[in-house]
């Protein structure tokens, strides 16, 4: 009888707690659906980005007759990534038949302005985030079976090495650092193309994407001429 009363009391408390949760005045935090985001790990990946941007820009500009040239503004962050992307994007645009100008102003044939802006974002520690379903289940499970087989035959334990390499190649290590790459083409005050892309990067490599600030322009002084 005492056990039944205790169970009833616990059930009552649980029901009260669930009711309180259901009536919580604030929205409950939920996660986004599982998605994927690429991680930049080589200069080749910068060239892939340049190729993708060139394809998007050429497709957009093909809708506007006249084949006006495009002027690529210099990278304002003075970064390795910005300088490399500037040159790569120039090559990729020319390959697709987009005229590229070396001057921002060309008289009546004023070029369109293409500007690339890169933003580095650092988040707090993400160690508490759950791995993707199945991310470690198969590798860990096979590794354990191979390890147990090694009790009778030591050689199979080395088979885990290719599996580990596969996991490292196709599941890059997590990172707290991301970059946002924004590309915009403007015609005067009008934006004719805009695209944003996000990538993971290793924190120790974020200096490639946000270099030292450019030196300020030298101060100028105006002199007033006085007619004697």
**Per-domain residue ranges of the chain:** 35-125+174-210, 127-172
What gap in Å lies between CA 205 and CA 41, rounded to an integer? 9
3-state secondary structure 18-30: HHHHHCCCCCCCC
Q: Is the dihedral of CA 125, 117, 92, 62 positive or negative?
A: positive
- Per-residue pLDDT band for 76 (boundaries 50, 70, 90) equals confident
Please give the helix or strand (H or E) that residue 73 lies within, else none: none
Joined tokens for residue 28: 């409950």
pLDDT digits (tens, 9 = 90+) for 20-39: 555 668 888 888 898 899 99
Beta-strand ranges (E) seen in 112-221 are 112-122, 177-187, 190-201
What gap in Å lies between CA 88 and CA 181, rounded to an integer? 15
- Per-residue pLDDT band for 49 (boundaries 50, 70, 90) equals very high
- CA 158 from centroid of its chain's CA atoms: 35
Q: What is the pTM of this model?
A: 0.67
Query: Above 80 in pLDDT, residue 134?
Result: no
Joined tokens for residue 175: 């990172």
- What's the rounded mean pLDDT across residues 2-9? 60
- Per-residue pLDDT band for 223 (boundaries 50, 70, 90) equals low
Q: Where does 35-125+174-210 sit in CATH, by number?
A: 3.30.160
pLDDT digits (tens, 9 = 90+) for 141-168: 666 556 556 554 555 555 555 555 555 5
Q: CB neighbours (10 Å) of residue 93?
A: 23
- Per-residue pLDDT band for 50 (boundaries 50, 70, 90) equals very high
């Amino acid at each position: 009888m005492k056990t039944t009363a205790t169970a009833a009391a616990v059930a009552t408390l649980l029901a009260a707690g669930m009711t309180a949760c259901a009536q919580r005045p604030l929205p409950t935090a939920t996660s986004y659906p599982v998605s994927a985001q690429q991680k930049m790990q080589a200069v080749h990946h910068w060239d892939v980005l340049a190729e993708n941007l060139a394809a998007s820009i050429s497709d957009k500009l093909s809708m506007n007759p006249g084949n006006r040239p495009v002027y690529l503004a210099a990278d304002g962050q003075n970064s390795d990534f910005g300088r490399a992307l500037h040159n790569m994007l120039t090559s990729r645009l020319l390959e697709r038949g987009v005229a590229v100008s070396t001057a921002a102003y060309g008289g009546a044939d004023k070029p369109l302005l293409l500007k690339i802006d890169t933003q580095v974002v650092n988040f707090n520690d993400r160690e508490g985030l759950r791995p993707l379903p199945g991310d470690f289940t198969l590798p860990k499970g096979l590794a354990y079976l191979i390890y147990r087989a090694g009790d009778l035959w030591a050689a199979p334990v080395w088979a885990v090495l290719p599996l580990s390499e596969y996991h490292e190649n196709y599941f890059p290590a997590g990172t707290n650092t991301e970059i946002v790459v924004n590309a915009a083409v403007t015609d005067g005050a009008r934006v004719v193309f805009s695209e944003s892309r996000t990538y993971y990067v290793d924190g120790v490599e974020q200096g490639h994407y946000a270099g030292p600030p450019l030196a300020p322009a030298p101060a100028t002084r105006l002199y007033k001429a006085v007619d004697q």
